[in-house]
Structure formats: structure tokens, C-alpha cells
Amino acid sequence: MRVALIGYGEVGRILAEDLRASRHEVTAFDVKLGTPAGGPLRAHSLVHGVTLAESHAQAVGRAELIVSAVTASQTVAAAEACGSALRPESFFLDLNSASPGAKIAAAAHVTRAGGRYVEGAVMTAVPPHRIKVPLLLGGPHAEQILPALAELGFAARVASGQLGVASATKLCRSVLIKGLEAMVIESFTVARHHGVEDAVVASLHETFPGVDWEQQASYFFGRVILHGRRRAEEMREAAVTVREAGLDPFSASGTAQRQAWMADLADAGLFSDEGRPADGWRAQADRILQHVRGRTDG
């Protein structure tokens, strides 16, 4: 099967590896390819036999399936950029963590071009599951795409024939999961400052005995350090989803701010010295506290 990947970040590269391992033809495009950040993407493509395109249109022109895995804010723009070059009846699988409204807008661009838009919602972290990550599908073409996705190795099921249901499910979950990440970072860092982290962790073990809070906190810190920018965009989309229900998105907006703040620190090199995801949460919290104290002293 000829597959085009729009977005060649972490998710795009994992999908590319698994699809190429099954000998499917894969073409990819990413806006970073024309920047210094494109070097590792080009190196990855050479190792795994992925053809890199110079534009959205070039990537999708021959593809039977297009998988959009860009940042949430680019969901509609990516669909629009691909629209003019889509093959008639090709499937456009949108995996982006965007609001129901954004998915509906993206679908309009694909439909106008004669493509078959399918909303996709990735329901947990991709790396442990890879191509078999649980995937909810939505829209009028969701049932039609299932055989092709099964052949490719995806673990997908249809949530609804109505657009917006799958993304609403995803983003309501994200309000909780990404919010928990932000709360753990804030709570554990402040506990470290006051020297009460052991007491806090012990209390959490009593309340939630099934959770290894040391391991979970380290995982949360590491994932946000690596992917805070993308998570912040997702939570802005979650905030839009909350507003669509008539509520003020206090939690979603606050989570977006904390995730973006962590991304800013990561971009500034705060966590880059010692293999950041491998470090425990305490080392990461100490770096944050050192940064905050230095800013205050200055």
C-alpha cells in the first residue's frame, strides 16, 4: 500500500518504521525538512527507506492513504495544503489532537478534493504500542477504512459515524491525563522545595496503592520535557472543546500554560545536560528550582 505521512515527528517516524517493516511504500513530508531541524529526519528516512517529499502535494499525489500527524494547531492547514493534490477516493486519516470543530473544518477541505476524511483519536502514548496504539475512528468513512488499517497493522475501532465524537473522547481524556502531568510536576517540585517530597509520595501511596508514584512522576516529567510543546497545543484544543460545551476551561488552560512553560525551559537547555528522560523526577525538579531561584535572585 502507498502511504503518505504528513508530519515526520515522533509519531510519524514510528509509523514509518512499522509500515516499512511490512514493506509498504512510505512517503513523508514535514515542514521542518527545510530547516536545520530536518537533519535527523533525513537521516531517519535513509535508514528506513522512506521517501521524503518537498511539499504536501508531492507527498500525497500517489498515496492511497494519507496519515496526518502534525501539531494540533496545524490540523486544518495540513488538510488544506494536501487537498488540491489528493487522489480521488484516497483516505485521509487525521490523527491530530484537535478539537471537534477543527476536525470538521479539516474534513471539509479533504471532502472538497474528493478524498475520504476519517477522524482518528490516539488514545494513549504511541511509543509503547507503536502502530498498534489504540485508535478511535470517526466520520462517515470510518467503517470503510477499517480493512485497510487492519492490513497495515493498526489497532483501530469505530467510535461514531459522526465527526467530532472521537476527538471529543480524546480531548476530554486529555484534560485529565495532561492535567495530571502538570499537577504532578507542580506538586512534586514544590514538595521538593519544602523538603516534604517523601511525605507526599508516601501519602499518595496510601491513597493510590496501585501506583508507583516515583516511577510515574519520573515518566510524567520526562514526557513533558520532551513533548511539552505538542502537549500545550493539544491542551489549547482541549480548552476549545471545553468552551464548546459552555464551560470556562480553567483546568485545560492552566495545563496548557504549564506544559508550554516546561517546553520553554527545555528549549532553553535546562534539562539537556544529563540524558533528561533517564533522570528521575527529583533531578528534574532540582533543575527547575535552581532556575526559579536564579531568576528570583537576579
Domain 167-297 belongs to what architecture? Orthogonal Bundle (1.10)
Convert the pLDDT of each residue in 72-102 to its tens digit. 999 999 999 998 899 999 999 999 999 999 9
Maximal C-alpha separation, the chain: 62
Q: Which pLDDT belongs to residue 278?
A: 59
Q: Which grid coordinates are listed for 23?
A: 514493506
Q: What is the CATH number of domain 2-162?
A: 3.40.50.720
Helix, strand and coil percent figures for the chain, each rounded to 5? 65, 15, 25
CA proximity to 113, closest of 142, 77, 89: 89
Q: CA Rg, the chain, in Å? A: 20
- Stretch 225-238: mean pLDDT, rounded? 94
Q: How far is CA 95 from CA 66, 216, 272, in A?
A: 10, 26, 29
Q: Which pLDDT belongs to residue 93?
A: 98
- Stretch 170-181: mean pLDDT, rounded? 97
Task: Give the Cα separation of 150 and 1 in Å (integer).
Answer: 12
Q: Which pLDDT belongs to residue 275?
A: 45
Residue 138: strand, helix, or coil: strand
Task: Give the Cα separation of 224 and 235 in Å (integer).
Answer: 13
What pTM, to 2 d.p., does this model score? 0.86
Residue 29 CB neighbours (<10 A): 26
For the chain, domain boundaries: 2-162, 167-297
Q: What is the DSSP letter of 124?
A: S
% of the chain beyond a pLDDT of 90:
92
Q: What is the mean pLDDT of the chain?
A: 94
Q: Which grid coordinates are listed for 11?
A: 509519531
Convert the pLDDT of each residue in 253-287 to its tens digit. 999 999 999 999 999 999 865 445 557 999 999 99
Task: Give the Cα separation of 273 and 261 in Å (integer).
Answer: 19
Would you say 225 and 277 are in contact if contact means Cβ atoms under 8 Å apart? yes
Q: Which grid coordinates are listed for 247?
A: 464551560
